Amino acid sequence: MTYPIRIVGDKVVLREFTPGDVDDVLGIIGDNKVTAWLSFDSRSRDQAIDMIEGAVERAQHEPRTEYYLAVTKRDNDRVIGFARIGFGGVQAGKLGYAVAAEEWGRGYATDAARTLTTYAFAELGLHRISAAIGPENAASITMVEKLGFTREGVLRDHVFTNGAWRDSVLYSVLAHEWQP
Ligand SMILES: CC(C)(COP(=O)(O)OP(=O)(O)OC[C@H]1O[C@@H](n2cnc3c(N)ncnc32)[C@H](O)[C@@H]1OP(=O)(O)O)[C@@H](O)C(=O)NCCC(=O)NCCS
């Protein structure tokens, strides 16, 4: 049983969500500055509660189908972001992440993505991890390229978000390529 898990990175801790995280989570997925870059529109408080309840419930599925984890700083349990790998395909996972806007630029997302990817290859036996990123999302593209992901191509009209279709650029990294 891999619940609950807690993974310690250099700058962040990845842990399971709890019902007490609602206000912090709303500060992330309810903020247009963050969701402008995500595949869903900003969420209300009720939707944030549903999101947490869904994550807690799915986390206890056996076997797990996703690792949707809260990101905190190492010395403070407040949620400053999330990182997720959802399973799909053959030993494959899709990576997603976000950090609260007031914490951008401090390396938290890089550390969260690196820590979760390392865990997925080393502990979960994944072979391939992909990330689908909006073509104009310079921060996210910079981040995955620095982490060693390879650009595969463009997924046309991949998501419908903020009232319009949006392409995604698909990046991936394979287990034997990963250098944490
Ligand atoms: C993408 C996101 C998660 C990055 O979070 P972060 O904690 O600020 O990331 P980091 O501090 O680890 O920085 C990542 C890299 O991107 C660079 N970067 C940040 N903003 C940038 C920008 N506007 N243009 C270009 N590069 C940028 C940083 O300088 C850093 O590179 P560095 O290590 O050389 O300095 C954050 O901007 C976010 O939550 N955005 C909204 C949600 C989102 O886009 N999620 C990903 C969907 S695919």
| pTM across the whole model | 0.97
What tokens does 6 get?
């807690």
What tokens does 104 get?
């951008």
Give distance in angstroms: CA of 11 to centre of ligand 1: 15
| pLDDT one-digit tens code per residue, 101-139 | 999 999 999 999 999 999 999 999 999 999 999 999 999
Query: Count of H helices and E strands in the chain?
Result: 5, 8
**Domain membership flag for residue 41:** yes
CB of 106 within 6 A of ligand 1: the answer is: yes
Q: CATH code at 71?
A: 3.40.630.30
**Domain membership flag for residue 42:** yes
**Domain membership flag for residue 83:** yes
The per-residue pLDDT for 2 is 77
Nearest Cα to 55, choosing from 14, 91, 88, 27?
14
User: Given CA atoms 107, 113, 117, 119 in this order, what sign does their dihedral have?
Assistant: positive
Give distance in angstroms: CA of 81 to centre of ligand 1: 12
92 and 128 Cβ atoms separated by less than 8 Å = yes
Read off the DSSP letter of residue 28. Answer: H
Q: Which domain holds residue 101?
A: 6-130
**Domain membership flag for residue 158:** no
